[in-house]
Amino acid sequence: MLEILLGTVFSALILETSQSPDIAAFVRFREFWPYVEQDQYRTANEELKEDWVDDILKLCQGYLRKDHPRDDYRELLELAVVFLGGIPHGRRRSFFHKPGAVHRARWMARAIYALKMWIFAPQFAEYQKQRPSSSRAVKAAVPPKLDEFCIFIVRYYIRAWFSAACSANAPRNDLDLYKALAKETNKAIRESGLKALGRHMWYLSEVTVGLALFDDEMPLEEKRNVVANLRSMEGSEEPPPKVCVEEADLDNKTVASFVTKNTDKFLDLLDIDKGFLDVDPAMRGTNPMYQAGARRVRDLLVTNDATERGVALVQDFTTKNPRTKSEDQLQCLLQVVEDHRKMYPPAKKYGHCAT
């Protein structure tokens, strides 16, 4: 869902109309990279004087202290820190990776390239002017609303993306993001973001909102309201798989607002003992029934990057280093490699967004 959100806001602001598999603006930036002076970059800390800047900077630095399964996750955090005027944790100076793939399937490339392009925009624009090219190419060097897209990335997207893997927090995270976007003053970001997000509110449905029963970061009173509604609030006869959140009443909405008696089905589906519901949320931490249910919920996958990994796998064994021209042997090879990676996960990870 967050992949769709990023792509939708990107399209609304950058207005990329090319039908090419690669994003044209990023292709031009990649061509410029050999000429970049990496110690001559700019930051937005002088322009952004808002309260959220320090919070996001601390958030990114905190995530940089953790291990990440993919190099592009770390690079996105580092670029966000540089954009906000900081130095990434663990580095004495900023270091920028050489740009690589710009295929549309590499969805995170939109965020990484946008931040990198804005950071080096003055150099990039000067490079374009010096090239023997048409005025159209010069004008298209840096998209006019690139700064707005970068602000969207650091203000909203970073927090949402790096908290997305926690299944128990999914209902609250989705609702908080929707509320934040609804208050955004930039019309293009607000309308495109709400439209994309509003079509994928799966984790606030009457059943899956049950994930929130194991959200340890939810306020105590909210947890009590969740249990109260689960026992008293009548639900739909046939609960829909997702909900439509009305903006008019959004300020009054909490996670508990979406909980009904149908949420009880969530516990049945996962075969979780409901006895912990009789225990006050303040005392649940040591309750064995709650702990068992929390472990089961933590094992649920609420994120999926299989498509991106699949594209990278195919490219590795066809475009970059073709092993065979036989389609049958290629399919067999891909299956063998995929099985090998599942059997030996600590081995070198593929599928990174090469940026």
Instruction: State which H helix or E strand residue 301 sits in.
Output: none
Residue 95 CB burial class (10 angstroms; 0-12, 13-18, ≥19): exposed
Residue 48's nearest CA partner among 150, 182, 116 is 150
d(CA 137, CA 147): 19
Pick 46 or 12 by higher pLDDT. 12
Confidence (pLDDT) at 337: 78
Q: What's the pLDDT score for residue 137?
A: 44
Where residue 244 falls (left for φ over 0; alpha for ψ -120 to 50; beta otherwise) is beta
For range 227-239, the mean pLDDT: 95
pLDDT of residue 158: 96
The mean per-residue pLDDT over the stretch 297-322 comes to 68
pLDDT tens digit string along 153-198? 999 999 999 999 899 999 999 999 999 999 999 999 999 999 999 9
For residue 191, what are the contacts with CB-CB under 8 A and spacing of at least 6?
12
Give the pair of three-digit tokens for residue 164: 């997305």
What is the average per-residue pLDDT within 42-53? 88
Who contacts 125 (Cβ-Cβ below 8 Å, separation ≥6)?
Answer: 138, 141, 142
Q: Are 111 and 6 in contact (CB under 8 A)?
A: yes
267: number of Cβ within 10 Å: 19
pLDDT top residue among 166 and 303: 166
Of the spans 66-70, 219-223, 335-339, which averages the highest pLDDT? 219-223
Residue 54 three-state SS: helix
> Which amino acid belongs to residue 118?
W
Stretch 65-77: mean pLDDT, rounded? Answer: 88
The pLDDT mean for the chain works out to 86
* Closest C-alpha among 303, 275, 271, 304 to residue 288: 275
CB 141 within 8 A of CB 128: yes
